[in-house]
Amino acid sequence: MLRKEQNDLLTQTGPGTSMGRLFRAYWTPVLLASELPQNDCPPVRVKVLSERLVAFRDSKGRYGLIDEFCPHRGASLWFARNEECGLRCPYHGWKFDVNGQCLEVPSEPDESGFAKKIRLKSYPLIERGGMLWTYMGPPEQQPPLPEWEFALVPAEQRFVSKRLQESNWLQAMEGGIDSSHVSFLHRGNINSDPLFKGAKGNQYNLNDARPVFEVVESAGGLYIGARRNAENGNYYWRITQYVVPSFTMIAPRGGHTVHGHFWVPIDDENCWTWSYDYHPTRKITNAERRAMEEGKGVHCKYVPGTFRPLANKDNDYLMDRAAQRRGDSYSGIEGIAIQDGSLQESMGPIIDRTKENLVSTDNGIIMARHRLMRAAKELIEKGKTPPGVDLAHQRVRSAAVILPPDRPFKDAAREELTVRPGMAPASV
């Protein structure tokens, strides 16, 4: 368990906080590119790391991410007119470009130069992999653009979604690095979900509900190895990549796509769960893409017109107690994403980790917390670049492998845990 001050450090990400400073050292996904589909389209509200912003795409196709509120009287610029390379506040006509610079104050004479003195806070916004990313840290420390493999493959080899999660980012992320719950919470989906079924590894998951965890530090975060029994005295290893602060890549199954997540704080009580599927050597099939769009795998269905899951806390996640009793669904809740989200949200907006009773299968979670706290401390006290910023830390893969008992997974699967262009991921 953690002390209260440690829990506060890890869960608070607003301006000036330790974890807020750590998150601001990275490029962070904030929107799907499809949310700003064309030049001069309507602006979009963005709340990230407890900052309220507005994103827009100007007449030349440039992206902007600026303070949501007009510096004149504080009206929200979500109501603004997007026209002629700027957002114009409809209240009094003040206009701002993608860098937050005020271009016009219609009530003041041009020769006064008043507009030039007004500038809103702004952050860079770039497109990569069908997502819009921002960097919110000191401009002089801006890192290179992200190079996660899923974001660099051709669009036909990738699918990305996001969903609103009504909990702190950390308890959501901790679910993503907890392989032991798969044998329970998701056992009804492993062999039925079209994006998972048919893999040999599924049977190892279902037959061995007591995985042994071995967690090893990597340059960017952690290798989280979950070991289960296989045939002939061998072990089935599922190796999850965790890269600081909130990137995970889950071990693939059979010939299916690889998937994982980013958990991005909206504020201290809500986050975006970003979910990606990709395959490094082939296109996603029409059937796979259809399944992803229908909320299978790690994705979900939405309340129409929003990114809030259709099954949410207001309708008890559409729980089916009869299906739970029959054994059709271990939890009675349909869909892997909502099974995870429902239990993580049930903990409350921010779980009190001083009351936990952790066990050996929680080693990945324990080490991730310490990795985060150490990274934040070294950034603040020593100015040290945190893990995950270096592009080499982003060129990683997860892996599922069968190994003899005398082969440490970190050494035996070393090549499989890095990006290998033109080669399929290691999977069982």
Q: Which of 418, 3, 368 is nearest to 222 (CA)?
A: 368
- pLDDT at position 368 is 97
Tell me the per-residue pLDDT of 75-85, one tens digit each, with 9 for 90 and over. Answer: 999 999 999 99
Q: In whole angstroms, what separates CA 138 from the centre of its chain?
A: 22
| Other residues' Cβ atoms within 10 Å of the Cβ of residue 180 | 18
Q: Which pLDDT does position 293 carry in this prediction? A: 98
The DSSP annotation for 381-420 comes to HH-PPPTT-SGGGGSB--EEEEE-TTS-HHHHTTGGGB--
- 63 and 71 in contact (C-beta within 8 Å)? no
What's the CA gap between 154 and 140, in Å, rounded?
31
Residues 246-249: contacts with CB under 8 Å, at least 24 apart: 246/23, 246/169, 246/173, 247/148, 247/221, 247/388, 247/394, 248/173, 248/176, 248/177, 249/396, 249/397, 249/398
For the chain, residues with pLDDT lower than 70 are none
Tens of pLDDT, residues 368-378: 999 999 999 99
